[in-house]
Structure 1
Amino acid sequence: MGAVPDPGLTGWCRRRCRPLLLPVARALHRLGVTPNGVSLLGLAGCAAAAAVLALGHPAAAALVLLFLGPLDAVDGILAREFGGATRFGAFLDSTLDRYGEFCLFLGLLAYLWRRPGAGLPEAALVLAALTGSLLVSYTRARAEGLGFECRVGLATRFERLLLFGAALLTGWILPLVGLIAVLAHATALQRILHVRRLAR
Structure 2
Amino acid sequence: MNITKYRDSLIHFIYPVSRFFARLGITPNQITLLSLLFGMGSAVLYAYQYAYFAAGMLLLSALFDFIDGGVARINNKKSRFGAAIDWIADKYVDGLVLIGIAFSGLVNPGIAAIAIFGSMMNTFIKPVVYAEIGFDKKEDGKIKDPLESVGIFGRPETVITLIVLSCLNHVDWAVIVIALMTNFSALQRVFYLYRNRTRY
TM-score by length of 2: 0.85
Do structure 1's residue 141 and structure 2's residue 127 form an aligned pair?
Answer: yes
Task: Give the letter for the 1:48 counterpart.
Answer: G
Change (3 A) 1:81 1:195: farther
Which residue of structure 1 lines up, in the alignment, with residue 118 of structure 2?
Answer: 132
Matched, 1:79 2:77: no
Q: CA deviation at 1:14?
A: 5.6
Aligned residue pair count:
186
Unaligned runs of 5+ in 2: 136-144
Change (3 A) 1:70 1:14: farther
SS at match of 1:83: coil
The 10-residue stretch of structure 1 (123-132 or 44-53) with the greater mean CA deviation from structure 2: 44-53
Q: Once the two structures are superposed, what CA deviation does each residue of 1:150-189 show, in whole Å capped at 9, x if it has no partner?
A: 2111111000111111231112222221111111001111
AA in 1 matched with 2:63: P
Match of 2:176 in 1: 178
Give the aligned partner of residue 109 of structure 2.
Answer: 123
Contact 1:167 1:177 in 2 (8 A): no
Match of 1:30 in 2: 23
1:194 aligns with 2:192: yes
* Contact kept? 2:114, 2:179, Cα under 8 Å: yes
User: 1:4 — aligned with what?
Assistant: none
Deviation at 1:55, TM superposition (A): 1.9
- Cα distance in 1 between the residues matched to 2:57 and 2:92: 17
What's the Cα RMSD here? 1.9
Deviations 1:99-157 (A, max 9, x none): 11111012111211xx6xx7xxx010000001100001100121122225221111110
Contact map agreement 2:22 2:74 (CA 8 A) in 1: no
| Correspondences of 1:32-71 after superposition (within 5 Å) | 32-71=25-64
Which of 83, 96, 104 is the aligned partner of 1:103? 96
Look up the equivalent residue of 1:12 and give its one-letter code: Y
Residue 4 of structure 2: aligned partner? 10
Q: Distance in 2 between matches of 1:42 and 1:78?
A: 14
Q: How far off is 1:71 after superposition?
A: 1.1
Q: Which has the higher contact order (CA 8 A, sep 6+)?
A: 2
Partners of 1:176 and 1:54 lie apart in 2 by: 15
Q: TM-score, normalised by structure 1?
A: 0.85
- The amino acid of 2:159's aligned partner reads L
CA deviations over 1:24-66 (Å, ceiling 9, x no partner): 2222222221111111111111111111222221011112222
